[in-house]
Amino acid sequence: MNAHVVVSDLAKRHGAVEAVRGVSFAITRGETFGLLGPNGAGKTTTLECLTGLREPDQGRIEIAGVDVRATPEAAKEKLGAAFAGAALPDQITPREALQLFGAFYREREEPAALLARFALTEKADARFTTLSTGQKQRLALALAFVNRPEFVVLDEPASGLDPQARHELHAHIAAMKRDGRTVLLATHDLHEAEKLCDRVAVIARGKIVAEGPPRELAAGAASFEDAFLRLVTGAGEGTGA
């Protein structure tokens, strides 16, 4: 397997809580990989370690052969990330945000191209506070692409979106796959994962409890949702919780 992203034996503790316990997975170049789990399962902590936001307590993370823990700056050049909420100053405009964050990278995409690609050209000079939730989410996606990343991390990207905006978002994620980008999608929306992901890993109580294509995981269950519920409940029983 041509692994583009490798996470091996990752562990992270928040005080007394073991948020992530020995998580390992690998993502093939060009693959859309889902990280599924209920709230508090350890998805966001895993992504934060993967993107260099937090220093893991143990484990190895590589993006395109670059060790994230040893050379985080080099790894960050290769990845784009969109976490829930665009997280920008109220008065900034989409054009300014794209110019600013693009300037932090060696390789960068032109703001005008990103604005056009994410249907924000009309709102290019509008204040951030005046954007709709869908527009803010599209801006968050556009920001994840300012450095032409090989690997894109999306954390609950559809959170709070109406059906129309969700449909547009899914089209953008599908386009990323067509462009050959590797995508890691963390979500608790099972339909979204089933529709968009080539493979998924189910995480519960800080551990990966299953991994494979959604269709395979759903085999033997009434639906993918049933399979998921059985996996996360089983993990809880297994840990004695």
Helix ranges (H only) for 118-223 are: 133-144, 163-178, 190-196, 214-218
Site string for other proteins, 54-73 (x = CB under 8 A): ------------------xx
Smaller CB distance to other proteins: residue 128 or 228?
128
Comparing CB distances to other proteins, the nearer of 17 and 219 is 17
Query: What is the sign of the dihedral through the CA atoms of 135, 137, 140 and 142?
Result: negative
Residue 85 near residue 140 (C-beta atoms within 8 A): yes
Q: Which residues contact 155 (CB under 8 A, 6 or more apart)?
A: 43, 44, 47, 81, 82, 83, 84, 186
Choose which of 7, 10, 26, 81 interacts with other proteins (CB under 8 A).
81
Q: Which is nearer to other proteins, 51 or 137 (CB)?
A: 51
Out of 20, 27, 41, 88, point to the residue binding other proteins (CB under 8 A): 88
In the stretch 7-46, what mask flags binding to other proteins with x, by CB under 8 A?
--------x-------------------------------
d(CA 79, CA 239): 34
- Residue whose C-alpha is closest to residue 80's, from 11, 159, 5: 5
The binder of other proteins chosen from 8, 24, 28, 99 (CB under 8 A): 99
Q: Which residues 103-162 are close enough to bind other proteins by CB under 8 A?
A: 103-106, 127, 143
From 203, 206, 191, 199, select the one nearest 232 (Cα to Cα).
Answer: 203
Cross-strand partners of 155: 186
> What are the residues binding other proteins (CB under 8 A)?
15, 51-53, 72-74, 76-77, 81, 83, 85, 87-92, 96, 99-106, 127, 143
